[in-house]
Amino acid sequence: MVTRRWNDSDEAKASYVKDLFSALAKRYNVMTDLWTLGLHRLWKRQAMAQLALRPGDRVLDVATGTGDLAFMEQAVVGPEGRVVGVDSCAPMLEVARGREHGAVDFQEGDAMNLHFPDASFDVVTIGFGLRNVADRVQALREFRRVLRPGGHVALAGYERDEEDACTAAYGAVLRTGPEAAAVEGKRGRSGEALLQSPLFEAGECAAFRHEQEADEEGLLGRALSASYAPREPAAVAAFTRRLRAVFAAHQREGQVVLRYVTTVYLARRRG
Ligand SMILES: C[S@@+](CC[C@H](N)C(=O)[O-])C[C@H]1O[C@@H](n2cnc3c(N)ncnc32)[C@H](O)[C@@H]1O
């Protein structure tokens, strides 16, 4: 468990995120299945459908983690294409390399300082990772640099839909966790940065809504399994009390509904 606090600098956030994913790496796939009740597979298929890759494409998957998107991409681009998966966290890449899908080239690297030549990819993707990158604008500069003219970038993400009152109340409790700001602070539609960037054009966003039901214990288990949930007994007790209050205020017949939205942002390199 990572308990170190971080200050507000980009370097401190990057180091916190690296430690967080290093500590999580071996459990990441199981935790993601639990946390999303398996829905992340659907979200990734939705992202792939928007992406419309072609056989032969050269694809860079940034913040590739344990490689889910990279493996899906490799299946489409085929042997005449190329997929490189880059992540700043070596233990996540170790898990990716152990997954027996062969052709993807996994390399350690930083989204904000990519070690690839200019114009060397047709498509850059980043799935469920931009919110963890300390400087998104610098990452977008790097994505543009490594894309060929006319190449595309795709950002997939998912967020709680906090227009919904119960989901907003749940999110507000999560943000009281001691390390939450490093991850939660980067939430919100992180892909909007792409639509606003002068480096890209023809931006579009597809959004898919999902909901998950939970009983009281399910809600508590879900919140307490967050990597940034409190661990100190007194803080856990306070966190649990707040969650129980959210449950009591919003439950209907012993269940609450949490709403999420998956977004896929696509844009073309300008110039
Ligand atoms: C939530 S995981 C997503 C992994 C994967 N794309 C998926 O969809 O399952 C976020 C990943 O971003 C990586 N990451 C965070 N900051 C990064 C950076 N600056 N450069 C490269 N990878 C980074 C983390 O190490 C982690 O593996």
The answer to whether residue 104 sits within a structural domain is yes
pLDDT in tens, 51-67: 889 999 999 999 999 99
Q: Which two tokens stand for residue 139?
A: 């990452």
**Which protein residue has the closest C-alpha to ligand 1 atom 14?**
63
- pLDDT at residue 266, as a whole number: 94
CB 168 within 8 A of CB 260: no
For the residues 195-208, what does the mean pLDDT come to?
A: 93
Distance 220 CA to ligand 1 centre (A): 26
- The alpha carbon of 242 and the centre of ligand 1 are apart by a number of angstroms equal to 30
Q: Read off the DSSP letter of residue 128.
A: S
In a domain, 129, yes or no: yes
Residue whose CA is at the smallest distance from ligand 1 atom 26: 65
Q: What is the CATH number of the domain that holds 189?
A: 3.40.50.150
Judge whether residue 162 has pLDDT over 60.
yes
Q: Is residue 265 part of a domain?
A: yes
Q: Is the pLDDT of residue 1 over 60?
A: no
Question: Given ligand 1 and candidates 2, 43, 86, 132, which is best to mutate, with the most ligand atoms within 8 Å of its CB?
Answer: 132
Position 21 in a domain: yes
77 part of a folded domain: yes
The pLDDT mean for the chain works out to 88
In a domain, 197, yes or no: yes
Residue 244 lies in a domain: no
Rounded distance from Cα 87 to ligand 1 centre (Å): 6
Query: How many domains does the chain contain in total?
Result: 1
Which among 225, 208, 198 is positioned nearest to 265, based on CA atoms?
208
CA of 130 to the centre of ligand 1 (A): 8
User: ∠ at Cα 245 (242, 250), nearest 5°?
Assistant: 130
Lowest-confidence region among 74-78, 83-87, 116-120, 182-186: 182-186
- pLDDT number for residue 181: 62
* Residues whose beta carbon lies within 6 Å of some atom of ligand 1: 14, 17, 21, 62-65, 68-69, 87-89, 92, 110-112, 127-129, 132-133
Each residue's pLDDT tens digit, 99-115: 977 799 999 999 999 99
In a domain, 256, yes or no: no
What integer pLDDT is reported at residue 30 of this predicted model? 86
Probe residue for ligand 1, chosen from 73, 84, 89 as the CB with the greatest number of ligand atoms within 8 Å: 89
**d(Cα 8, Cα 59) in Å, to the nearest integer?**
33
Contact 229, 177 (CB under 8 A): yes
Which one of 42, 64, 72 would you pick to mutate in the ligand 1 pocket, going by the greatest count of ligand atoms within 8 A of its CB? 64
Of the pLDDT bands very low, low, confident and very high (cuts 50, 70, 90), residue 182 is: low
Note the pLDDT of residue 186: 45
pLDDT of 244 > 80? The answer is yes
How far does the centroid of ligand 1 lie from the alpha carbon of residue 255, in Å?
A: 32
Query: How far, in Å, is the centroid of ligand 1 from the Cα of 162?
Result: 23
In whole angstroms, give the CA distance from residue 268 to residue 201: 5
Residue 5's pLDDT is: 44
Looking at residue 6, what is its pLDDT?
42
Q: What is the mean pLDDT of residues 168-191?
A: 74
- Section 39-59 average pLDDT: 89
Ligand 1: atom nearest CA of 89 is 25
**What is the CA angle 34-39-43, rounded to 5?**
135
**Which of 10, 15, 17 best tests ligand 1's pocket when mutated (most atoms within 8 Å of CB)?**
17
Enclosing domain of residue 70? 10-160+180-211+261-269
Average pLDDT over residues 22-34: 86
- Ligand 1 centre and the CA of 82: distance in Å? 20
Q: Compute the chain's Rg from CA coordinates.
A: 19
**Which of the residue ranges 7-16, 119-128, 202-211 would you say has the lowest mean pLDDT?**
7-16
